[in-house]
Structure 1
Amino acid sequence: MTDAELDELLADCPRLFHMAEAGSWPAIRRHGLLSTSALLDLCDVAPERRPAIEAARRPAGIELQGPDGERILIRDNKPINDAALARVLDGGLVPEDWYRLLNGRVFFWLSEKRLRRLLEAGSYRAARHDVLTLDARALVEAHRDRIALSPINSGTTGRFPQRRGPETFRAIPDYPYAEWRRKRSKGERVVELTVDHGVPDVERFVLGLTRMGGGQPDEPLLT
């Protein structure tokens, strides 16, 4: 991706969206928006307990205690089916490798349409979620060297799982934006923007916080 293509992407997708557990903003504000692996570090989770959390499917969320005694929730990853995942992995990866890769990153949608689709998915439809809306350009300028882009929803297998592997997540200069421009409309040329480890200074990029889902109207919490 060239600088001109990045400018085009950020003009087409000026906002990023992150779906978090309802009520999680105080902990995010205090510690930053952290990956699963970074949260395990923060909560000093014992080494023998970590593989079941960061190298395996989580059918339900896992509650931890933060360093200040606050509740920290590791979200489930139940939209992934292990058998389906194993069939579509490339590069010699096994499901455990993929889970570790996902759990080392924080994920953002570039499309509100995709965010809404996730909120309405069977796995999450009944619950309320807190959605952070962020300034895409400001975050990219601050964390560009730790960003990787994905052309797929890497956290689901669904009915028709897409192939994935070591090349799914590409650094900005390596992302084949021109190829995806030929194949997809605006808003779909990059599906996920990810940041390695986390965004400790996330608060300065936040434009809004909204409680969504659960069949109820959106409720702005920060504007």
Structure 2
Amino acid sequence: MVRLRKKERREETMELKETAISSETVYDGKIIKVQKDRVRLPNGKEALREVVRHQGGVCVCAVDGDLNLFFVRQYRYPFQEAMLELPAGKLDVEGEDAYDGALRELREETGIIAADMMPLGEIYSSVGFCDESIHMYLAVNIEQGKQCLDEDEFINVEKIPLGRAVEMCLKGELKDAKTVACVLKAYIILEQLQREAGRTEAEAHE
């Protein structure tokens, strides 16, 4: 039997880049700016892109010594629902340091003061149409202070055990994307820290 060779096909890698031809600002608000851009595609054709511009934000997972996480519940008008989320917010001014913004948002929304914060990375909230970037942090060695809410903010603070928070993420009970990402990242980091602490303690007793 003669075996036929499959015809070798060379896959060409296309440069995945779109170049702006023109840009029009159609809305310039307090929180977002909306642009309508005409772009040139990799194949040379043109297309329209509607882009929401946002100066970025922060999200903080604060954990106490008993591995409880601190959440905020607030009404989210777009979904007509009171949502449970981690403390978060936008950077107040362009160029504000994300670390400083995270400390500020945590204290304003919950009253919590964190002695230490560990960066958990950055996520893009919705890459198809928005350039918002959210910096996530794990806050430890915390102290409870007093909330300092804006006059148009109405927030309840809730404390939830870490294990229960992870379960809520996996079951879809927590629906806010940044909260889910931050809780699961924090869980992994805290598990690693506990294992390392256990190894260190075991080595000390050898």
TM-score by length of 1: 0.26
- Where is the strand percentage greater, Structure 1 or Structure 2? 2
TM-score by length of 2: 0.28
* Greater gyration radius: 2
- Where is the helix percentage greater, Structure 1 or Structure 2? 1
- Indicate the structure whose relative CO is greater, using CA pairs within 8 Å and at least 6 residues apart: 1
